[in-house]
């Protein structure tokens, strides 16, 4: 709940201040170039810190009979106002070492003038200034609430800069850039607020007055001490006003960075010194920090910070819109009390709702009485016999936002009927506490007297649709429901189709199978085991194909079904034509990293070999073994060259084949796996991985065989290796 307060505050502040922040940022980007454009002008003389004021006055006096002022600006350019020997007045930049005139002060460009007005007051004078000041304060609050959100997300201030897992572009960069530009943004906003308060006289700059009379100046002339001008280097000067006349009561006014001195014009003694109040010190620093005046480096930091603010506006709103789009609970047809099946969803950013909704609709379509809600709405259900919990995990193994109250409710709400339950955890293997909250929910339901499990806790990495369909299949079998999980229609999240060119397509073989090779038209990152999503125009239903990557192309092995809409569509594509599709990453079925795993066993039947065709060719220092089941020797022809090449160049260590229609004794892939139990046991005990792709029927048979092998030879059930992520499946 707490995190939601901070998130809503962050969002509410962003929405209310959007216009001002946007305008201030865009103008800020333009204005950050002003100090840079000033610094590149040719008026800077190196080494002015080695000159003292005495020397400078002497140099100027040699050249000009009368000097009115000398100034040193934030860029360390020296300007002066003098009268020449010819009696002309000369104003502009000078070389303090020679008193030579360098040029007139250039006019501030119209672009900077215009942008400054817009930045300061939106051309609305006082009221505009007020709103800009307010906008600056709101941006400070946004940065502050953002920092709190990062602390919460990272589970503590100490982990503020710890690694962030990249699951979503907008979210990842919002956090990464937010952390990096937090300090500059806080500085920009606080100095902005300070400067506004100054403008409205809400902060008063009370300067002390000099205490000087004629007697002081006369006494000063008598004492012969060294001139103060000799002790002050020129770069510390802001302005030096020369005496109005030669009368001894007229003096120099020397404005330094932190004080003002009145200096006797003949003796060089300090007649009076007034220190700047704290307010002036802060005002000067605020101006420098807010505008970058005089420093190219800080101007660049300000520029980058402004660009980041624009990115935060984009990524922040994108995340909000995505979240809103995602977290729509579908309309219930049945009430909680007249439904038989209750689906409760736990989700932080809404992704789980896609699969939950598809499942809910699939069950409804089959005439089931289903009710869906979020986990925080858990209550008693009069007629329901099945509870399904679909929940993600957040923070460090914590409940997502709409599930925080669930565990308390579970123990306080009295459930009159005995219910069967199933829990599906959605998470990411990149987090150490993988699907932890689902585990906690499952453990609590196990201990609850009113609940009985019907399938084991099921964990899903990266919202894998195929894994979810596998679970849905298992669950529907366990409750004896006529439900075809493969027909679940999952809505397409902001689908961005890409173009692919058909570069090769084989004829169909004896089993009506063919291989299609597609080349992405644009550079695309993908791996063998990822999924190609195709939506044929005819029925607009998404199909997912496991892909292999060979020479940067996508290779798919497809069985052409007589009335199969998508398989016929793909088969009828001609070489060099283009198709629209999307590659979906499927990290739970990519070949593991060679660092962690040394041996991998691939098991497939039929077209399930597709992703493995890419994997066996990869030249990773992993020992790879392939088991494949087909019907006849001819069935192998499609894949033979790739397998032979891989065996020849040793990227594949062994190949075991089972042919079910070649001889009378039907041999299936699970039979050849059973014969290689030593290899399987060695791979699993060596922390290796087994990957299975193909039909569900084959998967079930293979899992039985594997379980026997692990139980007999390693004295552990297969589930132990499954929990250890040593068993990866992608079956349909």
Ligand X SMILES: Cc1cc2nc3c(=O)[nH]c(=O)nc-3n(C[C@H](O)[C@H](O)[C@H](O)COP(=O)(O)O)c2cc1C
Q: Which residue from 28, 427, 592, 688 is in contact with ligand X, where contact means CB under 6 A?
A: 427
Nearer to ligand X, 427 or 608 (CB): 427
Nearer to ligand X, 166 or 379 (CB): 166
Compute, in degrees rounded to 10, the torsion defined by CA atoms 458, 463, 464, 466: 70
Measuring CA to CA, which residue among 35, 98, 584, 639 is closest to residue 295?
35
The rounded distance, in Å, linking the Cα atoms of 396 and 152 is: 10
Site for ligand X in 555-584 (CB under 6 A): none
Nearer to ligand X, 145 or 347 (CB): 347
* Total number of residues shown for the chain: 732
Query: Which tokens hold the place of 294?
Result: 């005089």
Nearer to ligand X, 70 or 435 (CB): 435
The rounded distance, in Å, linking the Cα atoms of 146 and 181 is: 11
Please report how the helices 169-199 and 278-291 are oriented relative to each other, as an axis angle in degrees rounded to 10: 140
Query: Considering only 15-23, 40-48, 425-433, 712-720, which stretch makes contact with ligand X by CB under 6 A?
Result: 425-433
Contact between 44 and 77 (Cβ < 8 Å) = yes
b or e along 515-552 (b: 16 or more beta carbons within 10 Å of the residue's beta carbon)? bbbbbbeeeeebbbbbbbbbbbeeeeebbbbbbbbbee
Nearer to ligand X, 77 or 394 (CB): 394
Provide the sign of the torsion angle of the four alpha carbons 289, 293, 296, 301, taken in this order: positive
Nearer to ligand X, 348 or 442 (CB): 348
- CB-based contacts of 263: which residues, under 8 Å, 6+ apart? 227, 228, 229, 251, 252, 253, 254, 269, 270, 271
Q: Which residue from 167, 221, 248, 456 is in contact with ligand X, where contact means CB under 6 A?
A: 167
Nearer to ligand X, 34 or 357 (CB): 357
Nearer to ligand X, 146 or 397 (CB): 397
> Does the footprint of ligand X cover residue 360 (CB under 6 A)?
no
Q: Which residue from 54, 433, 456, 511 is in contact with ligand X, where contact means CB under 6 A?
A: 433
- In the complex, what is the shortest distance from the CB of residue 145 to ligand X, in angstroms, rounded to a whole number? 16
**x/- site string to ligand X, residues 510 to 549, per CB under 6 A?**
----------------------------------------
Nearer to ligand X, 202 or 443 (CB): 443
- In the complex, what is the shortest distance from the CB of residue 688 to ligand X, in angstroms, rounded to a whole number? 24
Q: Which residue from 6, 33, 266, 434 is in contact with ligand X, where contact means CB under 6 A?
A: 434
Query: Which tokens hold the place of 91?
Result: 């104003």
- CB-based contacts of 86: which residues, under 8 Å, 6+ apart? none
Q: Which residue from 303, 406, 426, 471 is in contact with ligand X, where contact means CB under 6 A?
A: 426
Nearer to ligand X, 192 or 350 (CB): 350
Nearest to ligand X by Cβ — which residue? Answer: 427
Nearer to ligand X, 316 or 694 (CB): 316
Nearer to ligand X, 118 or 182 (CB): 182
- In the complex, what is the shortest distance from the CB of residue 440 to ligand X, in angstroms, rounded to a whole number? 11
- CB-based contacts of 64: which residues, under 8 Å, 6+ apart? 82, 83, 84, 85, 90, 99
- In the complex, what is the shortest distance from the CB of residue 683 to ligand X, in angstroms, rounded to a whole number? 26
**x/- site string to ligand X, residues 442 to 481, per CB under 6 A?**
---------------------x------------------
Site for ligand X in 675-704 (CB under 6 A): none
- In the complex, what is the shortest distance from the CB of residue 151 to ligand X, in angstroms, rounded to a whole number? 12
Report strand pairing: 237-241 vs 251-256.
antiparallel
The single-letter DSSP state of residue 485 is G
Region class of 438: left (phi > 0), else alpha (psi between -120 and 50), else beta: alpha
Q: Measured between alpha carbons, how far apart are the two ends of the chain, in Å?
A: 39
The rounded distance, in Å, linking the Cα atoms of 228 and 57 is: 12
Site for ligand X in 104-163 (CB under 6 A): 153
Nearer to ligand X, 390 or 554 (CB): 390
The rounded distance, in Å, linking the Cα atoms of 699 and 717 is: 16
> Does the footprint of ligand X cover residue 435 (CB under 6 A)?
yes
The rounded distance, in Å, linking the Cα atoms of 341 and 332 is: 12
**x/- site string to ligand X, residues 320 to 359, per CB under 6 A?**
---------------------------xxxxxx-------
The single-letter DSSP state of residue 123 is T
- In the complex, what is the shortest distance from the CB of residue 398 to ligand X, in angstroms, rounded to a whole number? 7
Measuring CA to CA, which residue among 637, 604, 614 is closest to residue 732?
604
Q: Which residue from 431, 453, 716, 725 is in contact with ligand X, where contact means CB under 6 A?
A: 431
- In the complex, what is the shortest distance from the CB of residue 234 to ligand X, in angstroms, rounded to a whole number? 55
Site for ligand X in 383-422 (CB under 6 A): 392-397, 400
Site for ligand X in 193-232 (CB under 6 A): none
Considering CB under 6 A, how many residues would be counted as binding ligand X?
24
Query: Considering only 100-108, 426-434, 466-474, 512-520, which stretch makes contact with ligand X by CB under 6 A?
Result: 426-434
Nearer to ligand X, 587 or 695 (CB): 587
**From the CB of residue 359, how many other CB atoms can be counted at a distance below 10 Å?**
27
- In the complex, what is the shortest distance from the CB of residue 431 to ligand X, in angstroms, rounded to a whole number? 3
Nearer to ligand X, 672 or 728 (CB): 728
Residue with tokens 């000078």: 94
Contact between 21 and 309 (Cβ < 8 Å) = yes
Region class of 521: left (phi > 0), else alpha (psi between -120 and 50), else beta: alpha
- In the complex, what is the shortest distance from the CB of residue 174 to ligand X, in angstroms, rounded to a whole number? 11
- In the complex, what is the shortest distance from the CB of residue 425 to ligand X, in angstroms, rounded to a whole number? 7
Query: Which helix or strand (DSSP H or E) is residue 422 part of?
Result: strand 419-427
- In the complex, what is the shortest distance from the CB of residue 162 to ligand X, in angstroms, rounded to a whole number? 11
DSSP alpha helices (H): ranges in 273-378? 278-291, 296-326, 351-365
Query: Considering only 118-126, 128-136, 423-431, 593-601, which stretch makes contact with ligand X by CB under 6 A?
Result: 423-431
Measuring CA to CA, which residue among 524, 508, 626 is closest to residue 572?
508
The rounded distance, in Å, linking the Cα atoms of 718 and 710 is: 6
- In the complex, what is the shortest distance from the CB of residue 611 to ligand X, in angstroms, rounded to a whole number? 22
Helices (H) then strands (E): counts for the chain: 20, 26
- For ligand X, the binding residues (CB under 6 A) are 153, 167, 347-352, 392-397, 400, 426-428, 431, 433-436, 463
């Amino acid at each position: 709940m707490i995190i939601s307060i901070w998130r809503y505050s962050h969002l509410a502040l962003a929405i209310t201040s959007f216009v001002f922040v946007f305008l201030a940022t865009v103008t800020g980007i333009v204005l950050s170039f002003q100090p840079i454009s000033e610094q590149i002008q040719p008026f800077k003389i190196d080494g002015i810190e080695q000159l003292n004021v005495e020397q400078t006055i002497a140099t100027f006096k040699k050249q000009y009979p009368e000097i009115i002022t000398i100034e040193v600006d934030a860029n360390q350019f020296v300007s002066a106002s003098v009268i020449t020997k010819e009696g002309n007045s000369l104003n502009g930049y000078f070389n303090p070492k020679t008193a030579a005139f360098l040029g007139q002060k250039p006019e501030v460009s119209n672009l900077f003038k215009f942008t400054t007005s817009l930045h300061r007051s939106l051309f609305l004078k006082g009221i505009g200034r007020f709103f800009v000041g307010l906008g600056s304060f709101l941006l400070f609050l946004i940065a502050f609430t953002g920092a709190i959100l990062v602390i919460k997300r990272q589970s503590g201030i100490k982990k503020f800069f710890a690694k962030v897992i990249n699951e979503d572009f907008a979210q990842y960069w919002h956090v990464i850039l937010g952390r990096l530009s937090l300090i500059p943004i806080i500085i920009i906003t606080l100095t902005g607020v300070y400067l506004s308060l100054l403008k409205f006289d809400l902060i008063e700059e009370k300067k002390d007055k000099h205490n000087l009379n004629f007697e002081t100046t006369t006494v000063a002339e008598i004492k012969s001490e060294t001139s103060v001008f000799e002790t002050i280097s020129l770069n510390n000067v802001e302005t030096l006003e020369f005496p109005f006349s030669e009368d001894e009561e007229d003096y120099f006014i020397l404005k330094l960075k932190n004080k003002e001195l009145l200096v006797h014009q003949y003796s060089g003694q300090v007649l009076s010194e007034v220190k700047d109040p704290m307010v002036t010190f802060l005002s000067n620093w605020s101006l420098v920090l807010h505008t970058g005046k005089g420093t190219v480096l800080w101007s660049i930091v300000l520029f980058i910070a402004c660009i980041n603010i624009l990115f935060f506006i984009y990524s922040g709103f994108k995340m909000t819109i995505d979240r809103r789009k995602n977290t729509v609970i579908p309309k219930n047809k049945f009430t909680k009390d007249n439904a038989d099946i209750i689906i409760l969803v736990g989700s932080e950013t809404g992704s789980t709702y896609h699969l939950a909704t598809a499942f809910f609709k699939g069950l409804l379509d089959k005439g089931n009485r289903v009710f869906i809600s979020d986990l925080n709405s858990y209550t008693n259900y009069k007629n329901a016999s099945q509870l399904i919990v679909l929940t993600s995990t957040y923070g460090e193994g914590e409940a997502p936002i709409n599930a925080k109250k669930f565990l308390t409710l579970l123990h306080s709400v009295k459930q009159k009927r005995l219910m069967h339950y199933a829990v599906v955890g959605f998470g990411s293997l990149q987090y150490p506490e993988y699907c932890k909250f689902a585990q906690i929910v499952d453990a609590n339901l196990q201990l609850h007297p009113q609940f009985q499990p019907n399938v084991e806790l099921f964990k899903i990495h990266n919202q894998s649709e195929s894994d979810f369909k596998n679970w849905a299949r298992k669950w529907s079998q366990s409750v004896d429901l006529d439900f075809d999980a493969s027909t679940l229609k999952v809505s397409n999240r902001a689908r961005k189709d890409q173009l692919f060119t058909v570069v090769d397509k084989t004829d169909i073989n004896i089993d009506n199978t063919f291989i299609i090779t597609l080349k992405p038209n644009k550079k695309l990152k993908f791996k063998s085991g990822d999924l190609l999503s195709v939506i044929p125009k005819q029925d607009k239903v998404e199909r997912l194909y496991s892909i292999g990557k060979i020479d940067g192309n996508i290779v798919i092995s497809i069985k052409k079904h007589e009335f199969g809409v998508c398989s016929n569509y793909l088969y009828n594509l001609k070489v060099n034509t283009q198709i629209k599709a999307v590659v979906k990453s499927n990290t739970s079925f990519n070949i593991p990293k060679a660092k962690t795993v040394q041996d991998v066993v691939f098991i497939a039947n039929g077209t399930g070999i597709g992703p493995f065709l890419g994997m066996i060719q990869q030249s990773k220092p992993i020992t790879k073994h392939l088991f494949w089941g087909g019907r006849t020797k001819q069935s192998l022809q499609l894949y033979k060259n790739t397998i032979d090449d891989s065996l020849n160049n040793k990227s594949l260590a062994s190949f075991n084949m089972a042919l079910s229609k070649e001889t009378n004794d039907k041999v299936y892939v699970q039979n050849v796996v059973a014969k290689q139990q030593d290899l399987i046991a060695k791979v699993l005990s060596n922390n290796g991985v087994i990957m299975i792709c193909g039909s569900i029927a084959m998967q079930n048979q293979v899992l039985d065989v594997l379980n026997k092998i692990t139980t007999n030879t390693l004295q552990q059930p297969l589930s132990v290796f499954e929990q250890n992520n040593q068993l990866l499946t992608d079956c349909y």
